[in-house]
Amino acid sequence: MTQTATLEARTQAPTLATLPTPALILDRDRMDRNIARLKGLMDGHGVVLRPHLKTAKSIDAARRFFPDGPGPITVSTLAEAEYFAREGGFTDITYAVGLDPYKAERAARMVADGVDLKITLDTVEQAVSLGEVGATVGACPSAFIEIDCDGHRGGLLPDDPMLIRVARALADCNVPLAGVLTHAGDSYGLNDPEALAQAAEGERAAAVAAAEALRKAGFQCPIVSVGSTPTAHFARNLDGVTEVRAGVFMFFDLVMNGVGVCTTDDIAVSILTTVIGKKPEKGWILVDAGWMAMSRDRGTANQAVDYGYGLVCDVAGNPIPGLIVDQANQEHGILALRKGSGETLPDLAIGTRLRIMPNHACATGAQHEAYEVVANGSPEVIAHWPRMRGW
């Protein structure tokens, strides 16, 4: 149904004034600039940038990075790996979430189909079950051992004796060791350049220490993979690292603005919305972008500036001083002035179009079927880029 409606609108050359709302808008120029910026930083360090496509989930977006494939890319689900491989021709893929025994066969079949798939694990059990599947299928992904650099999630500490035991189990089971992989997830909670540089150094040091421990024990450790959007931008030294992963940097968002990795001028995604009601006595404007369009992510709630469910901009993308999405129901957003903003509520007629910058590009993007792409400051929609979803 929605697709039909969208196609009908498309024959009339859609613009920001005519698209059905709510809709996910992507500013291609900003995205290209964000990609070029991080690519330039990584080139300076002499390391490979392996973008994490869990944010974009779009072959068209990935093509701005790799016009002809084949990667390297990172994914967060096997469904993403299959989508980018089969539909996009991407073959150098790291699946950066711990493998469970049920997914091992699906992963092995991708390798049998010619994909250089690398998976992630941190236990002997996972190594053994992957080895068994590899023997049955006749093809096996290589495996990263996940390293814990900041206590954020999973992985082994670099000096954990289990590291060598897992490497040995991989060797015993004929599973190639891809290397070590870590992610400084706690860096999302920082906002000071010095602390961010220290988080980057902690991430680097943990991965390199683990790689050295493996090599000292006689194992090859070809890839030393680190990364998060904040640490990738604040790293001063990446000695010993071979590649960096980052995802949200392509689009940026209000959380990354709060961390200090970008400004709101860098945020490439926004939600186009329409005013559907007013409650001036309460200081409210109602729009048709609720949490179904924005997601329930409240990532700025613990930052210095809390943007509610998003920062409200005019249809051209310029922030309206002080105006945020203060509350969200499923299909209603309630706009109000941020407490202490000292601004005056604008008088917006029903039907006014606005754009809302999201707290978290990964979460907001996931609520939508496709990107409506704009460029060159024009309101014209120049492309419709589908997104994938599922597992």
Chain positions contacting its own copies, by CB under 8 A: 1-5, 18, 20-23, 54, 76-77, 79, 82-83, 86-87, 97-103, 106, 122-123, 125-126, 129, 151, 153-154, 185, 274-279, 282, 286, 288, 291-293, 295-298, 329-332, 334, 349-351, 360, 362-363, 366-369, 388-391
Which CB, 88 or 202, lies closer to its own copies? 88
Which CB, 106 or 168, lies closer to its own copies? 106
d(CA 246, CA 232): 7
Contacts of 319 (CB under 8 A, 6+ apart): 264, 311, 312, 313, 357
Query: Could you give the maximum distance between any two Cα atoms of the chain, in Å?
Result: 72
The nearest distance, CB 230 to its own copies, in angstroms, is: 15
The nearest distance, CB 337 to its own copies, in angstroms, is: 18
Q: Is 252 helix (H, G, I), strand (E, B) or coil?
A: coil
Which CB, 242 or 273, lies closer to its own copies? 273
Which CB, 203 or 288, lies closer to its own copies? 288
The nearest distance, CB 22 to its own copies, in angstroms, is: 6
The nearest distance, CB 305 to its own copies, in angstroms, is: 19
d(CA 178, CA 147): 13
Give me 149's structure tokens.
């650099």
Percent helix, strand, coil in the chain, to 5, is 35, 25, 40
The nearest distance, CB 330 to its own copies, in angstroms, is: 6
Give me 65's structure tokens.
């990075």
b/e sequence 284-297, b meaning 16+ C-beta within 10 Å: bbbbbbbbbbbbeb
Backbone φ and ψ for 6, nearest 5 degrees, come out as -65, -40
Which CB, 2 or 11, lies closer to its own copies? 2
The nearest distance, CB 228 to its own copies, in angstroms, is: 11
Which CB, 27 or 146, lies closer to its own copies? 146
Q: Where are the alpha helices (DSSP H) in the chain?
A: 2-11, 28-45, 59-63, 78-82, 101-112, 124-137, 162-172, 193-216, 229-234, 254-259, 291-294, 361-365
The nearest distance, CB 293 to its own copies, in angstroms, is: 8
Which CB, 6 or 191, lies closer to its own copies? 6
Q: Is 108 helix (H, G, I), strand (E, B) or coil?
A: helix
